[in-house]
Amino acid sequence: MSIQDQVKKAGVVGAGGAGFPTHVKVGSNAEWFLANGAECEPLLHKDCELMIHFAPQVIDGLALAAQSVGSSKIAVGVKAKNRRAIEALKEAIGNRDIQISEFGDFYPSGDEYEVVHTITGRLIPPGGIPLDVGVVVNNVETLLNIGQAVQGVPVTETYLTVAGLVRNPKTLKVPVGMRVSEVLELAGGATIDEYAVVDSGLMMGKLVADLEQPVTKTTGGLIVLPAGHTLIERYSKPPEQMARIGKSACDQCSYCTELCPRYLLGYDVQPHAVMRSLGFTASGSELWNQYAQLCCGCGICTLYACPEGLYPREACLEGIVDLKKAGKGKWKGESEVKVHPMKEFRRVPMNLLVKRLGVGEYDAGAPWDPASVSPHSVDIPLSQHMGSPAAPVVKEGDSVAKGQLVAAIEEEKLGAAVHASISGIVTKIRGHVRIEAKDI
Ligand code: SF4
Ligand code: SF4
């Protein structure tokens, strides 16, 4: 079986983002293969801990993925401050021809466009993907999963950091489908009564609506903050309120654009112009929405740059949705990309970002906990990847063993297979497969 087929069979998806099915990437052809270990979400340490404790598995997965893609150039992007990770990677690389590229401690240095430019010097065309410039990028956890897939082990666990107001912040591996409330207990539980949880990052993640919801293959972290924390209040604002405040208070200072990482990399993203769409709907928001199209949603404009505390990122994301609805989702503007001369001077250092977000007191590390975790039951979502949901191949009452296929994708559809993350009995199938633990 080819590496691509093994990866597909194991249900590997991009662990660092939206869950793009990895077999599609490893079935492509590219000169460069890059491992993205440039973790930059504040308080998350999952990728760093993974590289420290599983460097041989990450590097083996990287070598296999690069072999599948036919890449002659292979590199790992990692922050220079993560010395233990770099030493572990070097040892795992040995005399293989894999370079380590050390990044500064900025946000968002893990953005795919940034990673490609920093390591290869290439600029992805507007609206394009790394493959357009002969590059494939995968997160380090995805690479570890590729290595496992080639050994016949499917994805049944996710690596994540539990941080913020919990008794013992830590990084650990838990079965896919375990409930958020139970994962928090593994870190000693929340230290306050009134709290909220942010899923997979303060900058690009989302609020956990229900503590009984399951973690998925793409969950990178759970951050517990006081319910009254400014960030939680900001995340919780209804979109209409965000738009109303923006309409009345934006003074067009353009700080949001001047600090936008995509704008500085040379793309025509102008959140201050998109903010005009809130006030000039009569003149057609389309006019302004085009400046949102290349936004990656990094959150710098909303959570760091805007002196008025407005929501330019949300205006951009809304603008992208509107453009898609109008059938104008494809970039038709300038194709030349030229790095802004001030790019290096306007980067956002992580320590300043952490202060601005008001989470400095929680930035105390989250060491690896090797304990094995065995929940009583799991709810494994059928859709935890881009594309079509997987279709169940088991029925209620079936006994399943850990690693057994429980939902498959149709041959021609984009998607990823789903496997049992614990052994037990299937007790419910409704958008997820519930398994109650039992030794099989
Ligand atoms: S930084 Fe804030 S106030 Fe200034 S243009 Fe952007 S959204 Fe408006
Ligand atoms: S979220 Fe804001 S800062 Fe980030 S890419 Fe979009 S417009 Fe730029």
295 lines ligand 2 (CB under 6 A): yes
- Report the pocket of ligand 1 as residue ranges, CB < 6 Å: 250-256, 271-272, 275, 305-306, 308, 310, 312
- Sequence-ordered list of residues with C-beta below 8 angstroms from that of 95, at least 6 positions apart, any chain: none
Residue bearing tokens 């989250």: 366
Q: How confident is the model at residue 207 (pLDDT cuts 50, 70, 90)?
A: very high
Asked whether the beta carbons of 89 and 79 are under 8 A apart, the reply is no
* Options 3.40.50.11540, 3.40.390.30, 3.40.50.10800, 1.10.10.10; CATH of 3-150: 3.40.50.11540
Asked whether the beta carbons of 36 and 138 are under 8 A apart, the reply is yes
Q: How far is the CA of 288 from the centre of ligand 2 (A)?
A: 15
Predicted confidence (pLDDT) at residue 287 exceeds the cutoff of 80: no
Q: How far is the CA of 153 from the centre of ligand 1 (A)?
A: 49
Atom of ligand 1 nearest to the CA of 249: 3
Mean pLDDT of 165-194: 97
CATH architecture type of domain 376-440: Beta Barrel (2.40)
- DSSP designation for 179: B
Q: Quick check: do 156-229 and 376-440 share a fold?
A: no
Best of 124, 290, 300, 323 to mutate for ligand 2, by most ligand atoms within 8 A of CB?
300
**DSSP-assigned states of every residue in 68-137:** HHT-SEEEEEEETT-HHHHHHHHHHHTTSS-EEEEEPSEETTTSHHHHHHHHH---PPTT--GGGGTEEE
β pairing state of 106-107 and 348-349? antiparallel
Q: How far apart are CA 318 and CA 26, in angstroms?
A: 32
CA 172 to chain centre: 17
Mean pLDDT of 429-438: 94
- Between the alpha carbon of residue 36 and those of residues 73, 122, 161, 189, 208, the distances in Å are 14, 16, 17, 31, 26
Q: How confident is the model at residue 191 (pLDDT cuts 50, 70, 90)?
A: very high
Predicted confidence (pLDDT) at residue 283 exceeds the cutoff of 70: no
| pLDDT tens-place string over residues 19-34 | 999 999 999 999 999 9
Atom of ligand 1 nearest to the CA of 312: 7
Q: How confident is the model at residue 440 (pLDDT cuts 50, 70, 90)?
A: low
Best of 245, 247, 252, 269 to mutate for ligand 1, by most ligand atoms within 8 A of CB?
252
Atom of ligand 2 nearest to the CA of 263: 8
Q: How far is the CA of 308 from the centre of ligand 2 (A)?
A: 16
Ligand 2 atom 4: the closest Cα is on which residue?
298
271 lines ligand 2 (CB under 6 A): yes
Mean pLDDT of 134-145: 97
In terms of Cβ atoms closer than 10 Å to its own Cβ (0-12, 13-18, 19+), residue 159 is buried
Q: Which contiguous run of DSSP H or E holds residue 62?
A: helix 55-69
Q: How far is the CA of 246 from the centre of ligand 2 (A)?
A: 16
Helix 312-325 × helix 239-249 angle, to 10°: 110
Ligand minimally distant from the alpha carbon of residue 316: 2
Boundaries of every domain in the chain? 3-150, 156-229, 242-357, 376-440
Predicted confidence (pLDDT) at residue 96 exceeds the cutoff of 90: yes
Q: Which contiguous run of DSSP H or E holds residue 100?
A: strand 99-103
Quick one: how many helices (H) and strands (E) in the chain? 17, 18
First-to-last alpha carbon distance for the chain, in angstroms, is: 28
Asked whether the beta carbons of 398 and 195 are under 8 A apart, the reply is no
**Token pair of 419, please?**
């496997």
CATH architecture type of domain 156-229: Roll (3.10)
pLDDT at 338: 94
Atom of ligand 2 nearest to the CA of 300: 3
pLDDT at 222: 98
pTM of the model: 0.95
Asked whether the beta carbons of 184 and 160 are under 8 A apart, the reply is no
β pairing state of 424-429 and 106-107? unpaired
146 or 241: which carries more pLDDT confidence? Answer: 146
Mean pLDDT of 374-383: 96
**Token pair of 296, please?**
């990656």
Mean pLDDT of 361-390: 93
